[in-house]
Amino acid sequence: MVEFLDIITVGLFAATLRLATPIAYGSLGGLFSERAGIVNIGLEGMMLMGAFAGVTVSYFTGNPWLGVLGAILAGGFLGLVHGLVTVKFAGDQVVSGTGINIFALGFTAYMSQVIWGSRGASESVQELPTISIPLLKDIPIVGEIIGTHTPLVYLMIIITVVSYIILFKTPLGLRIRAVGERPEAADAAGVNVFKTKYLCLIISGMLAGLGGAFLSLGHLNLFALGMTGGRGFIALAAMILGKWMPFGAFGASVLFGFADALQMRLQALGLLPPQIILTIPYILTIAVLAGVVGKAIPPSNYKPYVKE
């Protein structure tokens, strides 16, 4: 029991925030997509592509910030592909997302071998610096937990707030939600349904790409085969658990980040097999969907929109 309590340290909570960051980016990405009426199970692939592009660009330019930009563009590109398949060609959203996931897995593994001659991992690259927030870092405990991180952690918190404002406090957000829920009505009101969906999917991919960049550039400073390890799916789960709301998604991401941090600590101490804790996010999400822990009703109409 004493051992167990020893785990609850400031370090655990700092790790929670770090591990929650990629999930939060992914879940915000999923949010933009689903609010516009498109299921995005391709988040996993978009994150992986972002992680890879981030390291690749950083490797060739020596500048991790250009890497982050590359990750955003790579994720956005896959978002655009998802848009082409599901919006322009009215293809199935789940199938397209699956294709994107498999593509990203194959493409990144292939390119790793082309560039670094190794399938398992890239060479180390310049990683993102960490920054300390003045004043904040001096607060006891709180400062240790949230005072010093890579800027991508703080950017994630800012984007969460901005996403909320965009989706719920601006005309653009109203249009996005209208396109997701009542595309016919939005169209009749003069909203360009297709353009809005494309926009949201590109944003969705960009955010997922950022999440990937955090994993590779802000966390490990290299790319490893399949390094997202299902975090894209966890992000989807966080979005559902957060009831398709930005702050909800953020909160759920922190919860899953905590489970992940705890899992690592327990594993290091040999107290509990990691696999058992790793199932928690998934089981929790199923419970939410089943209405055991509050009811989750998707806000969107996911049918491909066909203009009359």
Partner 1 sequence: MPKMLPQVIAILLAFLVGAIVLTVTGYSPLDAYAAMLSGAFGDTFGIGQTLTQATPIIFTALAFLFAYKCGLFNIGAEGQFLIGALAAALVGISFDGLPVFVHVPLALLAGVAAGAFWGFMPAVLKARLGAHEVITTMMLSYVALYITGYMVNYPFKAPGWVAETVPISPSAELPSILPPTQLSASIFVAVLLAGLTDYTLRKTIIGYEIRAIGLNPTAAESGGISIKKGIILALTISGAMAGLGGAGEVLGVHRRFIEGFSPGYGWDGLAVALVGGLNPAGILLASVLFGALRSGGMTMTRTTHVPLDIATILQALVILFVAAPKLVKYLMKKGGFKW
- Candidate segments 3-11, 65-73, 126-134, 268-276, binder of partner 1 by CB under 8 A: 268-276
The least CB distance from residue 281 to partner 1, in Å, is 8
In the complex with partner 1, the residue whose CB is nearer, 164 or 198, is 198
Among 63, 98, 126, 267, binds partner 1 (CB under 8 A): 98
Among 10, 95, 165, 271, binds partner 1 (CB under 8 A): 95
| Site residue total, partner 1 (CB under 8 A) | 47
- Candidate segments 10-18, 132-140, 171-179, 285-293, binder of partner 1 by CB under 8 A: 285-293
- Candidate segments 157-165, 191-199, 212-220, 287-295, binder of partner 1 by CB under 8 A: 287-295
Among 114, 134, 140, 294, binds partner 1 (CB under 8 A): 114
303 is an interface residue for partner 1 by CB under 8 A: no
Question: What residues are paired with 131 via a beta bridge?
Answer: 149
Among 19, 46, 100, 249, binds partner 1 (CB under 8 A): 100
Give DSSP secondary structure letters for the chain: -HHHHHH-SHHHHHHHHHHHHHHHHHHHHHHHHHHTT---TTHHHHHHHHHHHHHHHHHHHS-HHHHHHHHHHHHHHHHHHHHIIIIIS---HHHHHHHHHHHHHHHHHHHHHHHHS-SSB----PPPPPEE-TTGGGSTTHHHHHSEE-HHHHHHHHHHHHHHHHHHHSHHHHHHHHHHH-HHHHHHTT--HHHHHHHHHHHHHHHHHHHHHHHIIIIISS-BTTTTTTHHHHHHHHHHHTTT-HHHHHHHHHHHHHHHHHHHHHHHHTSS-HHHHHTHHHHHHHHHHTTTTS--------SPP---
Among 109, 131, 145, 264, binds partner 1 (CB under 8 A): 109
Task: Report 136-175 residues binding partner 1 (CB under 8 A).
Answer: none
240 is an interface residue for partner 1 by CB under 8 A: yes
Among 7, 12, 80, 84, binds partner 1 (CB under 8 A): 84
Give the interface with partner 1 as residue ranges (CB under 8 A): 39, 41, 81, 84-85, 88-92, 94-96, 98-107, 109-111, 113-114, 119, 230, 233, 236-237, 240, 273, 275-276, 278-279, 282-283, 285-286, 289-291, 298
